[in-house]
Amino acid sequence: MRWAPVLLLVVLASVPVASAASPNPCKVVTPADATKVLGVKVGAGKAQTLGLYESCFYSAGTKSLTVQTRQIDKADFVKSAKANPGPVAPLAGVGAGASAYTAAGGLSVLAWKNGNEVTFLYIGVTPPAAQKAALAKTALGRA
């Protein structure tokens, strides 16, 4: 019986711990970035934690952009992205080593690079694919 606590400590010590936190979504997409994509001036984003994601919400009138970040490996990202409401389609132009998809008819963009996912949800505006890709590329570069 005296060995059980020692064994438990060994097991707990071998559990991997995340090496870093998720990127700050209010820093990977700035108010200037959100203003450009929404077409209306926005103020500082509202940061919060939503489950596994760090989130930043930008809004002005009926338009909004929600940016979420989390750490995830590529295989899990692809599986998660493809499970979103359809149609889900690849999005080109997000940079070397990055992957991205649009989902829900273009209302959402999911992008990944180097273990970081950045997800965008557009409400009240549907930017063209090139603009979505440019924002994803910028955000992934800051993540």
Which of 17, 22, 138 has its CA nearest to residue 71?
22
Specify whether the CB–CB gap between 118 and 93 falls below 8 A: no
Does the pLDDT at position 15 exceed 90? no
pLDDT at 21: 84
How confident is residue 7, by pLDDT bands cut at 50, 70 and 90? very low
For the domain made up of 20-142, the CATH class stated in words is: alpha beta
- Mean pLDDT over 105-112 rounds to 96
% residues pLDDT > 70 (the chain) = 86
- Mean pLDDT over 43-52 rounds to 94
CB atoms within 10 A of CB 42: 22
Higher-scoring residue by pLDDT: 8, 48: 48
Phi, psi for residue 122 in degrees, rounded to 5 = -100, 130
Domain ranges for the chain: 20-142
